[in-house]
Amino acid sequence: MGIIKQAFMLPLQGTAVAGRWDSLFLFMLWLAAIMFVLVVGSMLAFVWKYRHKASDRTTYITGSHVLEAIWIIVPTVMLLGIFVWGYSVYRGMTQAPRDAVEIRVLGKQWVWSFQYDNGRTSIGEIYVPVHRPTKLIMTSEDVLHSFFIPNFRVKQDVVPGMYSSVWFKPTVIGTHQVFCAEYCGTSHSGMLAKIHVLSEADWEDWNEGKSPKAFGDSLVEQGRKLHETKGCVTCHTADGTAKLGPSHKGLFGSKVELEDGTFVIADENYIRGKIENPRGSTKRGFTQMMPTFQGLVTETEMNALIAYVKSLAH
């Protein structure tokens, strides 16, 4: 699978963005090193050159506009350049492509677990396809964690009660290390996982398996069943007709108008918010009568319900 790239003293470059990230990092490191030598070097030289001599008389100094202009303009241009460069790398890391494979990540003291579209789950090991964008939709069942894959240059806080996400495009087949990078209690340092980057063929095999039935229902199907068993169907349909509540058809990704006239995009966090805290926002044209399901829906069920609502986007 090509040559494995690695910059001096940095971890292996396991994603498309890792090279860009490393260039920026090394540029800043070398720039700081050069600045350090220039500043400290000239300081020492001046200390020596202008050391006290009995005959010295300090001349009258009035300042220099040219010098002042230089030390304002040069660092400003340099720092703005670093900002623009950094922002462009950051944007590339945060805006996931629409066709990304989505995997849900659940952190809890002190294990990582994963839920895939086909309904499969894994603990301590996550499987992703090579050369395809993969988006992680992450939340925590207890405290703050942080999902960190050094080889991918990916690190993102995992927060209870909401979803955060990251995406990456792995380029190196094989196994990479995952850490928790936010101190989360006694066994924080043992909160590890392996990320397995699979070839296209292995991914198909893993994802579909010899018999997809072996994994039970797909995530969307699990969500559809929960939508019935939890009683959501009393008020919500999938076919566009409104009952007590609006239909979920076409909801995901759309712009929702709330009672107070503000608009929100119906993303994962919006749907989660409705299920946990329906009183936090009410859709315009409807009466607030949805009961809260806080504590009645587990995180894995929440992921399935959201996947179901999402599947009705079109």
Residues lying near ligand HEC in the complex (CB under 6 A): 230-232, 234-236, 244-246, 251, 256, 266, 271, 274-275, 278, 282-283, 286-291, 293, 305, 309
Say whether 137 sits in a helix, a strand or coil.
strand
* One-letter amino acid of 153: R
Applying CB under 5 A, among 96, 103, 136, 180 the residue interacting with Cu ion is 180
Say whether 140 sits in a helix, a strand or coil.
strand
Contact partner at residue 153 from ligand HEC, Cu ion, none, CB < 5 to 8 Å by partner kind: none
Distance CA 124, CA 122 (A): 7
Contact partner at residue 184 from ligand HEC, Cu ion, none, CB < 5 to 8 Å by partner kind: Cu ion
Residue 138 lies near Cu ion (rule: CB under 5 A): no
Do residues 15 and 168 touch, judged by C-beta distance below 8 A?
yes
- Residues 6 or more apart from 19 whose CB is under 8 A from it? 5, 7, 13
Closest CB 133 distance from ligand HEC, rounded Å? 26
| Stretch binding Cu ion (CB under 5 A), from 31-39, 56-64, 84-92, 145-153 | 145-153
Nearer to ligand HEC, 78 or 313 (CB): 313
Convert residues 90-129 into a mask of x (bound to Cu ion by CB under 5 A) and - (unbound).
----------------------------------------
Nearer to ligand HEC, 52 or 255 (CB): 255
- Residues 6 or more apart from 116 whose CB is under 8 A from it? 103, 104, 122, 127, 207, 219
CA separation, residue 51 to residues 43, 58, 60, 98, 253 (Å): 12, 12, 18, 65, 69
| Stretch binding Cu ion (CB under 5 A), from 60-68, 141-149, 262-270, 291-299 | 141-149
